[in-house]
Amino acid sequence: MSKRRKQYSADFKAKVAVTALGNGQTTSEIAARYEIHLTMVTSWKRELTDRASMVFEKTVKPHKESQATEEELYRQIGMLKMLGGWRFRPS
């Protein structure tokens, strides 16, 4: 019987990573304190330092899905204009 991998929340990962950055404890001590593997502390700490600049970015890039949805809406608006007006069509 296989054992399922434990999923950690983003809040928990952030708490561990911030602790690893700012605390005087070793990575091994932090891993023991939170009862997680040593490599998780290291990778979460690295991910936090790599992505920290994203917090201060002013522009938010839309996801590909929202871009596709927006393009589809503009296409539909164009078709409605070509048909001669805005008519209500129930879907």
Domain spans in the chain, listed from the N-terminal domain onward: 10-54+63-82
Tens-place pLDDT, residues 29-58:
999 999 999 999 999 999 999 998 888 887
Q: What band does 73 get if pLDDT is binned at 50, 70 and 90?
A: confident
Listed residue (82, 19, 8, 17) closest to 44, CA to CA: 17
Q: Which residue has the tokens 């891993």?
A: 31
pTM for the complete prediction? 0.58
25 secondary structure, DSSP code: S
Listed residue (46, 16, 44) closest to 32, CA to CA: 16
